Amino acid sequence: MNYIADIAIKLFGDNKTCMCGGAHHICLNCEVCRAIDKDQIYDSDKGVASIIDATILKATATDADVTTLCNMANEYQTASVCINSHFIPLIKSKLIGTVKSCTVINFPLGASSQEVIQAETQAVLDAEVDEVDMVQNLSALLSGDYDTSFASINVAAKLCIAKEALLKVIIETCYLSEEQLIISCLIAKKAGASFVKTSTGFGTAGATPENIALMRKVVGPKLGVKASGGIRTSEQALAMVAAGANRIGASSVTPLL
């Protein structure tokens, strides 16, 4: 039995073999079974722009800054524009084509209660956002309180699933050991997330190819893997893709193209 599968069995008990290709080996009995979904891989024919979440989350962002980002996203047809929830109405009025609206919750500390996470998720979904990037409950995870870690993601996932919105769980890799990274990915997948994501961009470090490769190995081909934090060149972006990422978060887009 491999190391990842051993962790999965310790967390969730032995079970039938999974059908989704994850290195956890056992079926996690996920909130959503993705065994028949398409593999989440980068399509080079569509180009790097198609997998970029063009992002502006700084406290000093203005309407003008966000509008400029939307115009750039429209020009290159990025995957989404990711903003703080204050700006949801603005980007919904600006984005065209296939560019999706994305916002963040439980951000950036990952320290909100389950009740607050539920209310925040419902609020952004009511604003008709397409995608939600959520920081996992880091305090619970680092304390070994995996039930609370799961529940905080699951309550958001259920709401997102009902609205057909993508939920990306930010595990904030810079604060985690390898085992904690694996556990975070397993919990997010079981709870119903659509993606696992490396970083908020506000931590001590961002994405690395090594972490992306491990995250992809853990969750398998059916879940998305988003690399974010410190990706500033096309070489870095392509290294993340080569490691298994199929979404990139970046505040500066054109250097990646």
Contact 20, 220 (CB under 8 A): yes
pLDDT at 128: 98
What's the rounded Cα separation, in Å, for the pair 251 and 184?
Answer: 25
Residues 25-50 have a mean pLDDT of: 96
As its CATH architecture, domain 39-256 has: Alpha-Beta Barrel (3.20)
> Model-level pTM greater than 0.85?
yes
Q: Which of 156, 145, 212 is nearest to 183 (CA)?
A: 145
Confidence at 2, pLDDT banded by 50, 70, 90:
confident
pLDDT for 134 equals: 98
Average pLDDT over the chain reads 97
The answer to whether 112 touches 106, Cβ cutoff 8 Å, is yes
pLDDT for residue 120 is more than 80: yes
Each residue of 57-71: b (16+ CB within 10 Å) or e?
beeeeeeeebeebbe
Residues involved in catalysis: 133, 197, 226
Q: What is the mean pLDDT of residues 36-56?
A: 96
